[in-house]
Amino acid sequence: MTTRLTTYGPWAVVTGASDGIGRAFARALAKEGFKLVLVARRRQALESLAKELTSTEVRVVDVDLATGEGLARVEAETRDLDVGLLVASAGFGTSGAFLDNAREAELSMIDVNCRAVAALTHAFGHRLVKRGRGGLVLLSSLVAFQGVRHAANYAATKAWVQAFAEGLALELGPLGVDVLACAPGPVRSGFGARANMQMSMAATPDVVANATLAALGRSGTVRPGFLSKLLEWSLMFLPRWGRVRVMSLVMGGMTKHQALTPHRS
């Protein structure tokens, strides 16, 4: 019987593994017998997770993926491993009016959400093609399919990931590499607090991770979580300008508390 471990193992690299969706992916993959490389900035959180995952071999790589040095370290510290799966779940968001947000935060988000994904996908993609099999899971979002007021830059970074995954799936599929875009809606994790959003109807990280792994090799895009599926259905027949308006209203509900606090500079 073919399993995900035989198809994509023995090693999986999970970025953003210190919290939320990345942490849920690590736990789910460990249950399936994958050996894991856990990547994130917070070493203490990674080591805590590694101690929890006693059923498998774990390597911890604490780096900042917004830097070239961090990306180089991930490549260097996995060079001796037979990596068959990359889960690029590291990322963060901002919210509110773009011009009110700190420019460095907005640029750093592009570095993590886009540049790091491109760099790691390029590096591991070569290795997966050479071995003739493997998988790439890239974290898109519910907001990736249209522009969104008060999340303009974040939505743009996720639109890039979505388009990137769709194109790569056609390029790499014939070479034995499955590429999947995961486009969840709100998720109960540390993401919302960092992005200054208040989320309701949020899915759990476990739901996102399990649904995504189940779709790997079977679909090009998966939308885990009830709200993501509901909005996909309700927006399906709207023109793009209509989707922009509806999703901006949804984002407005998640950021309305910001009107009660001073704008950030």
**1 in a structural domain:** no
User: Could you tell me if residue 89 is left (phi over 0), alpha (psi between -120 and 50 degrees) or otherwise beta?
Assistant: alpha
Domain total for the chain?
1
User: What pLDDT shows up at residue 264?
Assistant: 32
Nearest Cα to Cα of residue 241 among 144, 140, 141, 148:
148
**15 in a structural domain:** yes
- Give the span between the Cα atoms of 253 and 86, in whole angstroms: 34
- Under 8 Å between Cβ of 136 and 182: no
- Domain housing 209: 7-260
**54 in a structural domain:** yes
- Is 8 part of the annotated catalytic residue set? no
**236 in a structural domain:** yes
**115 in a structural domain:** yes
Cα torsion 257, 258, 261, 264 to 10°: value is 160
User: What pLDDT shows up at residue 234?
Assistant: 67
pLDDT tens, 3-17? 899 999 999 999 999
- pLDDT for 99 beyond 60: yes
Whole-prediction pTM value?
Answer: 0.85
**221 in a structural domain:** yes
* Among 25, 145, 154, 164, the one annotated catalytic: 154
CATH number at residue 21: 3.40.50.720
pLDDT tens, 148-184? 888 999 999 999 999 999 999 999 999 999 999 999 9
**265 in a structural domain:** no
DSSP-derived 3-state class of residue 176 = coil
**125 in a structural domain:** yes
